[in-house]
Structure 1
């Protein structure tokens, strides 16, 4: 299969180069035609060739030095005039917004989808590549770390290389990483591919947000960002369903195979359609800021990711979090004192941006409660297959995909505060309902509550973020998107670690509590074990002593399941409190009209 994939990739590359060559030739021909047309507009007569100028000058009685001077001066004036006119005409040319958004949306969708595809496939990767559970988690952890480190430097990269070059480079890295993962026969090669993928994916989302904020006027940003929400919100929920089906019927490598053709297609149309929408500059690279940022965010994200399994008192968790906090303090000091910061943290002086960033972080933490805890409940406790648990999440994703542009249009009309209040009220209520799960909770009830929760969430993510970004001047858009995405990444990691810790600790507490009650010395429990054992012995055709042993296992297993469910319910109670804090803060969101400068 890998041979076919390599051949497919080579064919795709040849096709890409061929299409690019044709597009470049066509673009040059078009530029030559435009230059002739522009020259005619600038001079009032058709473009004159050098031969005509030479013939005209030869008819005049001038010396050869004078002839060279006049010819040189004429050519120089003509070139300057043409360049100025070309610049003016190009400024008047409309930006192909539809084409640019198509390129960006496709790239962002597959990049975000890729993040959630592997969660279900991790057990299969572990068995296929013969690695431990601790080792295989680096497939997700390493991706998250590289992604989190790349996001803060996107503002510098956008200003340095422009949107077109940067997107093509990011998409190439992402697709190349998918190819490496697809053909990997060892865990080390798989990790190389994931790191390369993460380097590209970490750039795509902030880049897309910056382009959206640049090409759309203030009054249309809500609907535009709502459209972008389709990629941000629909892809993560589609991932578990798609990966659940694939790993049940095919190899986990197919998860990367399906990404490759879309990446190649996006690269091809990016070469043809993607344009620079932001004026490039030559900012000085802040190496010290980059170093502090890499160590700070990398250490902090790693510490949070390990806290869920190792515990908050673990030496590795405490040391990495402390190193991360110290490095981030140095990074903050550096960015606030340098004239040309890599990431301009002065965006936080804008009150609405600061408030909405905090609300977005809290929403992200609460959202991860359902994304992390529900699969544990459905698969580990209730025994649903990955595909069944994924299908439960799919209707909610469809609702978010439908509602995201609608909520964006409503944002343009009424602002963020009413939408945030409505959305967070629904989120608080439905999150509270999820804290009442049991072994008898029906699949339909869980589906209804999850769809309702996603309906409320569809009013939140993009509208709250857009409200904050609208306050920033245009020249801070790239810094605002990089900062916002970085904070959301940290909040997601922190929320996951925090809620998993709550779940684990409360599960242990409830297990110990049930252990004091569910014992053979308890006459009620002993009677139930005896009755259950007799029934199991009759069904299985076993002696009564063996039936009693099975009865004990069933009772203790039921108690362990109930302890896990109680731990999940307690984590959802905490998530409800987190969402309620965001609801209170949403009342303070103001509607601002920026200068747009």
Structure 2
């Protein structure tokens, strides 16, 4: 009996524990959005300064996800999780007791350095411990955790700040320590083949990602230029080092590289909906943040309920089947919103269900598709790169969409059926996202046919 079969009996229990920790990881990434104005007032700082609570977290979280993926190829996964969850809690304590803003930033950085182990693990466990025919259901469980975290983050943040200090949000990030004994029980002691860690290559990759994300979030051209220089140095490093941080052969795997590109576009497309929805519900419908959270809540809950079913559907019918369902749902949502944006929030609530469920299905299908292009020794860093690109795609999408909103359409509209002239800017964005859905499905179809041809 091979290792994968020996570890599999605990697989379902392990995925439930992982879904639990994912809820807190996702919540921690977004729930501080609600309280940033309060923090800004308390520390007497501007919006640009307080935004570092998100920027610093995002940069460390993104770099950490691929770093943990690389380390998982050498060290025991249970040890990495122990380290990560303890750092997650440590950062929470620092943030809770912070008396200066720089201490808040330090707390968020420590949180991110620990919490990054969770998405990395969520990508690795389904691939390492489940056979291909059951992997979709396992990925569906991770989708449940992601959807639940997204759904309850604004509501929990609102409730906590209504009855207590915003600082108590940090206490929520200590709760994942409850899962640590279960991780150590259900994970095996397997580790990858002994190899040296290319710290120089890892540092160049981390610097590249940090500066690129910084250039996107802060619109800083100097960061972009330096980031590109570091990227060139990183490419040179992995091509010349004896044991590089990332093996170049990973990117010579055409199926993997092309799937990553498709996933990059799909993630950017998906990030548009949760970013745009609060924007247009506030500016067009005049809703408060609390009501906006309630409008978005049902769609997120539907995604959580249907996530595991989507994974099982991928196992039974194949990834392509789930991708076609996902893109159809997302396309319906985007096209309809390009026509109706500005209409009653109750109609928007219904339409968001199509988009959110479609995005969850797409995440499951692309994770499953990419995992099948990797060999066993490439799983950790390969899925880590997938997670890393998700962050970059999300940052780019929100930055581009934000700039389009700022420009204002002023009468120009791509969709002639758009109902409200004051909503033309948002209508144009949704029309563009709908076209991107078409691009994604065409590319995925081409890749599927090419892969099928290679298999013959």
2:93: which partner in 1? 179
Q: How does 1:21-100 map to 2 (within 5 A)?
A: 96-100=10-14
CA deviations 1:411-443 (Å, max 9, x no partner) are: 11221112212211221221122223555x101
CA deviations 1:540-581 (Å, max 9, x no partner) are: xxxxxxxxxxxxxxxxxxxxx975x43323222222222221
1:577: which partner in 2? 435
Distance (whole Å) between structure 1 residues aligned to residue 352 and residue 341 of structure 2 = 16
Q: 1:340 aligns with which of 222, 243, 257?
A: 243
8 A Cα contact 1:126 1:136, kept in partner: yes
- C-alpha displacement of 1:346: 2.5
8 A Cα contact 2:94 2:106, kept in partner: yes
2:182: which partner in 1? 269
Q: How does 1:358-397 map to 2 (within 5 A)?
A: 358-397=261-300
Higher relative contact order (CA 8 A, sep 6+): 2
2:424: which partner in 1? 566
CA deviations 1:323-377 (Å, max 9, x no partner) are: 2122112212322343322123432333332232222211211122121121122
Q: Secondary structure at the match of 2:34?
A: helix
1:256: which partner in 2? 170
1:318: which partner in 2? 221
Indicate whether 1:303 and 2:215 are aligned.
yes
2:416: which partner in 1? none
Distance (whole Å) between structure 2 residues aligned to residue 435 and residue 396 of structure 1 = 18
2:64: which partner in 1? 150
1:92–1:503 Cα change, 3 Å: closer
For these two proteins, the number of residue pairs brought into alignment is 443
Distance (whole Å) between structure 2 residues aligned to residue 282 and residue 214 of structure 1 = 18
Q: How does 1:68-467 map to 2 (within 5 A)?
A: 96-260=10-174, 262-271=175-184, 273-276=185-188, 278-307=190-219, 317-437=220-340, 439=342, 441-467=343-369
2:388: which partner in 1? 486
- Root-mean-square deviation (Å): 2.6
Q: Secondary structure at the match of 1:200?
A: helix
Distance (whole Å) between structure 2 residues aligned to residue 359 and residue 277 of structure 1 = 34
Distance (whole Å) between structure 2 residues aligned to residue 185 and residue 191 of structure 1 = 11
2:377: which partner in 1? 475
1:352–1:93 Cα change, 3 Å: closer
After superposing the two structures, state which structure 1 stretch, 95-104 or 494-503, moved more: 95-104
Q: Which runs of 5+ in 2 are unaligned?
A: 413-419
Indicate whether 1:587 and 2:445 are aligned.
yes
Q: 2:410 aligns with which of 503, 510, 517?
A: 510
Say which one has the larger Rg.
1
Distance (whole Å) between structure 2 residues aligned to residue 585 and residue 237 of structure 1 = 31
- C-alpha displacement of 1:453: 1.3
1:109–1:502 Cα change, 3 Å: same
Q: Secondary structure at the match of 1:159?
A: coil
1:438–1:291 Cα change, 3 Å: closer
Q: Secondary structure at the match of 2:117?
A: helix
Q: Secondary structure at the match of 2:165?
A: coil
Distance (whole Å) between structure 2 residues aligned to residue 370 and residue 241 of structure 1 = 18
Q: Which runs of 5+ in 1 are unaligned?
A: 1-87, 308-316, 514-560
Distance (whole Å) between structure 1 residues aligned to residue 436 and residue 112 of structure 2 = 29
- C-alpha displacement of 1:380: 4.2
After the TM superposition, list the runs of 4 or more consecutive aligned residues in structure 1 that deviate by more than 4 angstroms: 91-95
8 A Cα contact 1:243 1:255, kept in partner: yes
Q: Secondary structure at the match of 1:276?
A: coil
8 A Cα contact 2:204 2:233, kept in partner: yes
- C-alpha displacement of 1:274: 4.4
Task: Give the TM-score normalised by structure 2.
Answer: 0.90
Distance (whole Å) between structure 2 residues aligned to residue 181 and residue 497 of structure 1 = 27
Distance (whole Å) between structure 2 residues aligned to residue 376 and residue 275 of structure 1 = 42
1:246–1:92 Cα change, 3 Å: closer
CA deviations 1:149-189 (Å, max 9, x no partner) are: 22232233213321011001001111111222222232111
Distance (whole Å) between structure 2 residues aligned to residue 562 and residue 430 of structure 1 = 20
Distance (whole Å) between structure 2 residues aligned to residue 94 and residue 448 of structure 1 = 39
1:248–1:295 Cα change, 3 Å: same
Distance (whole Å) between structure 2 residues aligned to residue 173 and residue 337 of structure 1 = 34
Task: Give the TM-score normalised by structure 1.
Answer: 0.69
- C-alpha displacement of 1:471: 2.2
CA deviations 1:6-65 (Å, max 9, x no partner) are: xxxxxxxxxxxxxxxxxxxxxxxxxxxxxxxxxxxxxxxxxxxxxxxxxxxxxxxxxxxx
Distance (whole Å) between structure 1 residues aligned to residue 63 and residue 57 of structure 2 = 10
Q: Secondary structure at the match of 2:73?
A: helix
- C-alpha displacement of 1:96: 3.0
Distance (whole Å) between structure 2 residues aligned to residue 351 and residue 289 of structure 1 = 22
